[in-house]
Structure 1
Amino acid sequence: MTNSIKVHVLLCGSVRVDQAVPYREKTLHPLPWTGLFRGPENQVRLPVFAFLIEHPQGLALVDTGWHADVRTDPKKHLGRLHYMANVPDLPSGQAIHEQLALLCIKSSDLDYVVISHMDDDHVGGLKHVADAKIILINELEWKSANNAFNVRYRRKLWAGVNVNRFTFTQSLLGPFKSACDLFGDGSVMLIHAPGHSAGMTATMVRGQSQFILLTGDSAYARKSWEQGILPGITPNARHAKKSLEWVSDMSRRPNCAEVLATHDPEKSPHVIELPL
């Protein structure tokens, strides 16, 4: 049995969005994140990362990137409204099942797939890994995303997939002191970091002396937590601020090996190993 945990940072294409999505800005536009009446000068292209955790007790994938269907007909796959808000790009070989194949891993080998939240670029590739042993989405996120009146989410992206819901319990970790212990040994903790979405899940991977923090979209990039820039989409700004402050605090801890945001343009594919 290996005495370490590895985290593979996998680049699953990119997304073009209004700059107000990752880096909130003051504007008279009521909904700048939709892209309506906003030109190319207001847009940025961001990477889309997923994270594979190799743990002595199994394999866990955090987020899934885009589905390969965005290569052929992204407007049909996402719907016109969602396509306008986030334009995908998924080069050949970068879909999540293709990335896993390069590592000689089949989707059925995955013990867990954890979805940080159910926006298109996080849950889009879920059907590529639908035969994973257990697929986990937080109960709060599930209820919000499956509300028929909530146009933010594209429910067809997970239709027909066997999804298990989990709940956060009281913990010493996180901005709201609530978490879920994935492997039962404290080494991979799913942490409630809401604000950008109701059930936003950050993931802390802990080794013997260091930890890695996967922020989900509670922070979009290093400058988010260093400059206190909230995500542009924040149904609960008070929660988002508290979650971002927690990310900032964790990033300054001497035992923090790395903070990984899903859309950080400063990051590139690499592997981090933490001794246990």
Structure 2
Amino acid sequence: MPVLLLAGGGCATVATVHPREAADIGSASRGSALEASLARPGQVTFQRVAFARWTGGRGAFIDRDDPRTAAVPKGDEEATIYAYVIDHPRFGRYLIDGGVSRALEPRLNPLMRRALQDLNVRIDRSIAEWLAAQTPPRAVFLTHLHFDHVGGVLDLADGTPVYVGAGDAEERNLMHRLTGRPADIALSGKGALREWTFTPDPDGVFAGVIDVFGDGSVWAISLPGHSPGSTGYLINAVDGPKLVTGDAVSTRLGWEQGMPQPLPASARAAAEASAAALRRFVAARPGVEVFLGHQSRTGQSD
């Protein structure tokens, strides 16, 4: 969802009151180890699934107060809510991000329901509908706790583990109070959030990296800025490496033209550093396929 709606500035309350604990999988590593893993054959299968779409003005995605955006014409952007399915031959199935749930909207407060109507949100499928013909995931790896990345977790079985970057549950801003903490609704019954324990990357490739399964097949990447615990994921898939950016870069305007997001002043430097690190990494490794937070890159199809 556009950052102005769900990550606005100001200080009021926490993003979620859900309990938290340290992740029980994954170990801190370094950028050079991540890079070396790409030289090995991939062993994980990867699939992107589109769950819903909405239409928002470009000012919800780029900072119209920044002079760098002046040349971008006014207009709307079409955005998609995705989740990603990874199947590991030893450890099983996992989701990256949560898709959507049709059961969530009736439980939201009036302001949040009105926001969804204004954005013309169209649900293609819910997680519950998708699960009807699928093996359920063993856990969910979130890119961050904003509503449009966590909402479908509501449809998963109680007790499904949910992993997220440290700091996201403590995010403080006015919009989280006004929208009624939708993340808490989605996370009901899922147990404590399991927070990735990032440490500074000694190689400086990213802010931090975690080898999720200990075999170089899936990496969690610390990308603070869009949210305090914003996390990307690099998957060494059988058909080539895939980079899921989350909303560290959500649109083609952000990736191709480097347009800054509308964020509180305190988050802007971190957000731009995270986006720049992603672009440098991919520029040096053109074989990595990039999956932006809410749009396909040129040539990709949903």
* TM score, norm. by length of structure 1: 0.76
Query: Relative contact order, CA 8 A, sep 6+: which one is greater?
Result: 2
Q: Which residue of 2 aligns with 1:164?
A: 193
Task: Note the alpha carbon deviations across 1:74-112, whole angstroms, 9 max, x for none.
Answer: 4753541474277363435x112322333x313xxx222
Decide which of 42, 45, 56 is 2:78's aligned counterpart: 45
Tell me: CA distance 1:256–1:174, structure 2 relative to 1, closer, same or farther (3 Å): farther
Q: How does 1:154-233 map to 2 (within 5 A)?
A: 154=182, 155-166=184-195, 167-171=197-201, 176-207=206-237, 210-233=240-263
**Aligned residue type for 1:219:** V
Q: Which residue of 1 aligns with 2:141?
A: 114
Alignment RMSD: 3.2
Deviation at 1:178, TM superposition (A): 1.1
Q: Which residue of 2 aligns with 1:37?
A: none
Q: Which residue of 1 aligns with 2:23?
A: none
Tell me: CA distance 1:4–1:216, structure 2 relative to 1, closer, same or farther (3 Å): same
Tell me: CA distance 1:22–1:186, structure 2 relative to 1, closer, same or farther (3 Å): same
Task: Note the alpha carbon deviations across 1:154-187, whole angstroms, 9 max, x for none.
Answer: 3333234313322213445775431222212121
- DSSP 3-state at the match of 2:171: helix
Separation in structure 2 between the aligned mates of residue 21 and residue 78 of structure 1, nearest angstrom = 21
Separation in structure 2 between the aligned mates of residue 148 and residue 233 of structure 1, nearest angstrom = 13
CA contact (8 A) 1:175 1:193 kept: no
Tell me: CA distance 1:170–1:8, structure 2 relative to 1, closer, same or farther (3 Å): same
Q: Which residue of 1 aligns with 2:276?
A: 245
Tell me: CA distance 1:171–1:125, structure 2 relative to 1, closer, same or farther (3 Å): same
Separation in structure 1 between the aligned mates of residue 131 and residue 112 of structure 2, nearest angstrom = 30
Tell me: CA distance 1:81–1:97, structure 2 relative to 1, closer, same or farther (3 Å): closer
Tell me: CA distance 1:172–1:130, structure 2 relative to 1, closer, same or farther (3 Å): farther
Separation in structure 1 between the aligned mates of residue 159 and residue 301 of structure 2, nearest angstrom = 26
Tell me: CA distance 1:238–1:67, structure 2 relative to 1, closer, same or farther (3 Å): same
Deviation at 1:149, TM superposition (A): 8.6
> Structure 1: which 4+ aligned runs deviate by more than 6 Å?
none
Q: Which residue of 1 aligns with 2:98?
A: 64
CA contact (8 A) 1:168 1:180 kept: yes
Q: Which residue of 2 aligns with 1:17?
A: 56
Deviation at 1:19, TM superposition (A): 1.6
CA contact (8 A) 2:42 2:238 kept: no
Tell me: CA distance 1:130–1:181, structure 2 relative to 1, closer, same or farther (3 Å): farther
Separation in structure 2 between the aligned mates of residue 59 and residue 174 of structure 1, nearest angstrom = 30
CA contact (8 A) 2:94 2:139 kept: yes
Would you tell me which structure has more strand in proportion to its own residues? 1
- DSSP 3-state at the match of 1:84: helix
Separation in structure 1 between the aligned mates of residue 58 and residue 141 of structure 2, nearest angstrom = 27
Separation in structure 1 between the aligned mates of residue 254 and residue 100 of structure 2, nearest angstrom = 23
CA contact (8 A) 2:165 2:231 kept: yes
Deviation at 1:4, TM superposition (A): 2.7
**Aligned residue type for 2:171:** S
CA contact (8 A) 1:54 1:60 kept: yes
Give the unaligned 5+ runs of structure 2: 1-40, 67-73
* TM score, norm. by length of structure 2: 0.70
Tell me: CA distance 1:209–1:174, structure 2 relative to 1, closer, same or farther (3 Å): farther
Separation in structure 1 between the aligned mates of residue 106 and residue 56 of structure 2, nearest angstrom = 15
Separation in structure 1 between the aligned mates of residue 291 and residue 203 of structure 2, nearest angstrom = 17
Tell me: CA distance 1:193–1:170, structure 2 relative to 1, closer, same or farther (3 Å): same
